[in-house]
């Protein structure tokens, strides 16, 4: 199944959570504490836009971009575009929740290159699933059964491997790897959170 079809199907079935993620709450607190509220945020691969709406509701000028957006989420702050072919220039805060593990590694490298090229980027916030607890390898491509019953691709990295990659592009201000970050139904995967600064 193609990636877009998979996600169209997923959102049609209304399986995606509607409330903002725990990571969005944490990111908003960081933005407020560091007085970054005046900067423009891009929610990259925003899905149904739950986090984009949350940032907007809380006074952050926010745009969501996703190749597959729920029809009822089509308001001006949403762009139905491919994140691998996008100009990131207008945004200073780049928010990447659960997209790093949804991309093949070469596509992740393309995404990082594009964000880096957009010289105005100041902060990047990432939450992604870790390989920890699943494999001792530095990276592994997996196909988990998803909530829509499909075998669904995931690219998992060890914290060490991913940090080394990200460090080539950005300054790492914070890394945290843990369970309890993204509990959904019976799942509590190990996730890695980053705050990155553009040098
Ligand atoms: C796991 S969902 C994350 C959704 C949202 N960030 C959240 O945390 O609720 C991954 C999203 O990535 C989107 N996606 C995957 N590849 C993409 C691409 N090349 N361009 C734009 N969106 C993409 C999918 O459509 C899907 O909505």
List the residue whose alpha carbon is closest to atom 20 of ligand 1.
82
Tally of residues, the chain? 199
Residue predicted with more confidence, 108 or 199: 108
- Count each helix (H run) and each strand (E run) in the chain, helices first: 5, 9
Average pLDDT over residues 116-124: 93
Structure confidence at residue 144 as a pLDDT band (50, 70, 90): confident
Domain CATH number, residue 169: 3.40.50.150
Residue with tokens 């592994």, as numbered in its chain: 140
Q: For 128-140, how does the pLDDT look when each residue is reduced to its tens digit (9 = 90+)? A: 999 999 999 999 9
Range of the domain at 65: 3-197
Average pLDDT over residues 166-182: 97
pLDDT at residue 142 is higher than 70: yes
Please count the other Cβ atoms lying within 10 Å of the Cβ belonging to residue 79.
16
In this predicted structure, what is the pLDDT of residue 5?
84
Q: 5, 17, 21, 47: which to mutate for ligand 1, most atoms within 8 A of CB?
A: 47
Q: Does ligand 1 have an atom closer than 6 angstroms to the CB of 15?
A: no
Average pLDDT over residues 145-166: 85
Contact in structure between 92 and 120 (CB atoms under 8 Å): yes
In this predicted structure, what is the pLDDT of residue 185?
83
Q: Does ligand 1 have an atom closer than 6 angstroms to the CB of 102?
A: yes
Average pLDDT over residues 120-130: 96
CA–CA dist 95, 63 (Å, integer): 10
pTM exceeding 0.85: yes
Q: How far is CA 101 from CA 30, 55, 74, 190, in A?
A: 23, 23, 25, 12
Q: For 17-29, how does the pLDDT look when each residue is reduced to its tens digit (9 = 90+)? A: 889 999 999 999 9
Question: Backbone phi, then psi, for 196, in 5-degree steps?
Answer: -115, 145
DSSP states along 103-155: S-HHHHHHHHHHHHHSTT--EEEEEEEBSTTT-SSSEEEEEEE-TTSSEEEEE
E strand map for the chain: 41-44, 62-65, 78-79, 93-97, 123-129, 139-145, 151-157, 171-178, 191-197
Q: For 51-97, how does the pLDDT look when each residue is reduced to its tens digit (9 = 90+)? A: 999 999 999 999 999 998 765 555 557 899 999 999 999 999 999 99
Total count of domains within the chain = 1
Q: Does ligand 1 have an atom closer than 6 angstroms to the CB of 82?
A: yes
List the residue whose alpha carbon is closest to atom 4 of ligand 1.
47
Give me the percent of the chain exceeding a pLDDT of 70.
Answer: 92
């Amino acid at each position: 199944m193609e990636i877009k079809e998979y996600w169209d199907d997923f959102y049609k079935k209304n399986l995606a959570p509607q409330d903002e993620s725990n990571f969005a709450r944490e990111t908003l607190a960081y933005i407020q504490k560091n007085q970054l509220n005046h900067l423009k945020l891009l929610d990259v691969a925003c899905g149904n836009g739950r986090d984009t709406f949350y940032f907007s509701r809380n006074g952050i000028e926010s745009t969501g971009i996703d190749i597959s957006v729920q029809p009822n989420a089509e308001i001006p702050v949403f762009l139905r575009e491919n994140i691998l072919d996008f100009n990131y220039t207008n945004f200073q805060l780049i928010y990447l929740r659960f997209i790093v593990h949804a991309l093949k590694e070469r596509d992740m490298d393309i995404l990082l290159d594009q964000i880096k090229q957009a010289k105005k980027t100041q902060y990047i916030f990432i939450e992604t699933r870790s390989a920890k607890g699943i494999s001792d390898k530095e990276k592994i491509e997996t196909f988990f059964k998803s909530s829509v019953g499909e075998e669904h691709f995931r690219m998992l990295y060890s914290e060490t491997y991913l940090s080394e990659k990200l460090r080539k592009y950005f300054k790492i201000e914070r890394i945290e790897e843990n369970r309890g970050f993204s509990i959904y139904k019976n799942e509590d995967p190990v996730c890695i959170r980053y705050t990155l600064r553009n040098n």
